[in-house]
Chains A and B, each alone.
Chain A
Amino acid sequence: GAGVSQSPRYKVAKRGQDVALRCDPISGHVSLFWYQQALGQGPEFLTYFQNEAQLDKSGLPSDRFFAERPEGSVSTLKIQRTQQEDSAVYLCASSLVGTTEAFFGQGTRLTVV
């Protein structure tokens, strides 16, 4: 595709609800990252995949957060039992392995009410 695609663009969840956020990286990009961006802040690293392998999940804030990339392309970030503090924009980025230029999607704005 032309760029990194994320869906949905906006998501409103009731507190306690589970949500799933999808990321379609640029075709051929081995590396995929998830970042969380709170209002007025810079993005913060959540997790990193190289193909289907999740090599780093140190940024996931709690065990309610889970990410997967089962076939090495599309990735899903799942948040269980959402809390108000989970409200943020969730950004996905992809890159070729061995490069540092990451291409970001537009993000999914999650609002927990």
Chain B
Amino acid sequence: GENVGLHLPTLSVQEGDNSIINCAYSNSASDYFIWYKQESGKGPQFIIDIRSNMDKRQGQRVTVLLNKTVKHLSLQIAATQPGDSAVYFCAETSSWGTYKYIFGTGTRLKVLA
């Protein structure tokens, strides 16, 4: 929605650099995780997902890392572009194929030209 990220942690990255966005999740029983991107005035958009039996998954320019020991998830964006500027949310759920995602508080990514 509009003004998403008004009071969120902000990560500023130079265009072309790599970005790393971190997320700590809460439920040790969660076994499926998703990263969403939300631009101002729009709904969340799926970026990449990972199941708990994996440590790493790669997509186009994005990589998700999962550390179950410390309940930590990260999203790496390679060669960050201005179009990557948005708020990024991690979401967790306790069973693949279910619907009840628990979203984190989000991180605002600002790409500097």
Which residues on A sit within 8 Å (CB–CB) of B103? 42-44
Residues B1-33 near A (CB distance < 8 A): 1-8, 32
The digit string for B70-113, where 1 denotes a CB below 8 A from any CB of A, is 00000000000000000001010100111111111110000000
- Is the CB–CB distance between A40 and B5 below 8 Å? yes
Which residues on A sit within 8 Å (CB–CB) of B91? 42
Closest 7 CB pairs of A and B: A89-B1, A42-B103, A104-B43, A40-B7, A40-B6, A107-B1, A48-B99
B64 within 8 A of A: no
- Is the CB–CB distance between B32 and A100 below 8 Å? yes
Q: A88–B98 Cα gap in the complex (Å)?
A: 24
- Is the CB–CB distance between B8 and A106 below 8 Å? no
Q: A45–B93 Cα gap in the complex (Å)?
A: 11
The residue of chain A having its C-beta at the shortest distance from the C-beta of B2 within the complex is: A109
Given B8, B32, B101, B104, which contacts A40 in the complex, CB threshold below 8 Å? B8
Given A91-B1, A101-B49, A109-B2: A43 touches B44 (CB 8 Å cut-off): yes
A18 within 8 A of B: no
- Is the CB–CB distance between B104 and A42 below 8 Å? yes
**B contacts with A: majority SS:** loop
- Is the CB–CB distance between B105 and A105 below 8 Å? no
- Is the CB–CB distance between A41 and B44 below 8 Å? no
Given A39-B3, A43-B44, A89-B1: A100 touches B106 (CB 8 Å cut-off): no
Which residues on A sit within 8 Å (CB–CB) of B66? none
A77 within 8 A of B: no
B30 CB to nearest A CB, Å: 12
- Is the CB–CB distance between A100 and B1 below 8 Å? no
11 further A-B pairs in the complex, CB-CB below 8 A; given A48-B99, A109-B2: A33-B99, A39-B6, A40-B5, A40-B7, A42-B103, A43-B101, A48-B100, A99-B97, A102-B99, A104-B36, A106-B1
